[in-house]
Structure 1
Amino acid sequence: MAPTRILVVDDEPQIHRFLKPSLAAAGYEAFGALTAAEALEAFRRHGADLVVLDLGLPDCDGKELIRAFREKGQTPIVVLSARDQEDEKVQALDLGADDYVNKPFGVGELMARIRTALRRNLVASGETAVYRSGDLVVDTLAHSVTLKGAPVKLTPKEFDVLRLLVRHAGRVLTHRQILTEVWGPAHVDDAQYLRVFVRKLRQKLEGDGAGPRFILTEPGVGYRVVWRGP
């Protein structure tokens, strides 16, 4: 499954050098633009799940870029700017920005604002961000899993597999579908590797009980998550 893609639009190279590894560490894929023209071209070519936008761009006011993005759709926009006047914030939000973070900023606050904007967009589109099944909770935006209130430590790939399964809870996903989404088309024949991987994931989520309760095997086909509700 492709990671959440975030387009960072800022004319300060140091912002890109700081934000890209921070976003990557949080599980996002970040790519950047230094000007409004570069941003529109990057968005046209690659799309984005969220835009982090500075208002002080060299080729236009960032508020014009908010208007341009809104003409294209409802991609969440988090403004990151040194302009702290109230009227600037109001104008940016009125034009369609989802949130506004002042520079200098704390990376923890920015990540929280990003998660909130993404979650709001998922809810608006009818997709769930937080999945609960009994005492198991999977938050696909915070990249977190808790079991009986305690955090469950998963590797990035383990989380990608779990996220894919819970997003399609009740539906059988074939080995090929899972391998293609998580590892890419070159790995569609690695079914045995996937079996070992799912066994490790089950041990973390279900322990060594009498049998699988959450991730069920459809013999010769793939896997299906049983979602039991809160």
Structure 2
Amino acid sequence: MTEEFEKFVRITVTFKNGVWMTSTGRKLTAVEGTTAEFLLPAEASSKLWPQREVPARKLYQFLAPGAHLMFALRVRQHDSLAEPLLQHLIPPQDMRGKVEWGSVKGWHSTEAHFIQITLDASSEEQRKKTPDFTGGVLVEVRGNAIKVMDVSPFTLPKGISGKKLISLNHAFTILSEVYEIHRAAHTGSIYETVFYQGSDNRWYPLGHLRKLDGTDIGKTVLAQEETADLFSELDEH
């Protein structure tokens, strides 16, 4: 039996004056009866279809001022690090049985070292933008999509950086440049490299937040924690 495969053409178009225009400035046309699928930004599609078809955006405060986060780093060249820098590292044997890697792939237990930070209260600028955000991590829930939107200020351990940071991505890059000297590039996903402590005292990657059912917020699937213990609703936009 011969399998039949449909062939598709991907075309970039712009909606202008009520018609779809191609990148060459031509009106988009097709054979009569053609069926196509449109992929539109949610903000644009909400103007074409009822608002109920676009998932509502909700903001939640995850954790609170004073809470800890930990960065996971692959440290291979200990001999190249100064003693004060080594003292900041939590070795893998100290975290054995305390970390839930979940969907994080490619980690070896002998390489995984951790550095802990403490989250401060939110900044004045952050409170102007989101008045009820007192600090911790600001999370956006849109349908089933979970996204880290903001984090309150924090500092890295002494000798690494003396600046107040408000970006987990930026902090990871700084830490990677110092400790992961075997790497050519120093970027990484905060959903795999940044960990929070659950009510069971185990550490979970931020990626576990994406396992929440945003349409019926109740429990995190992997951590099995009551969401009420983790989140307090701030606002709905």
Q: Shorter-chain TM-score: what band?
A: under 0.3
- Larger Cα-atom Rg: 2
Looking at both structures, which has the greater relative contact order when contacts are Cα pairs under 8 Å and sequence separation is at least 6?
Answer: 2
Tell me which protein shows more helix as a share of its residues.
Answer: 1
Q: TM-score, normalised by structure 1?
A: 0.27
- When normalised by structure 2's length, the TM-score is 0.27
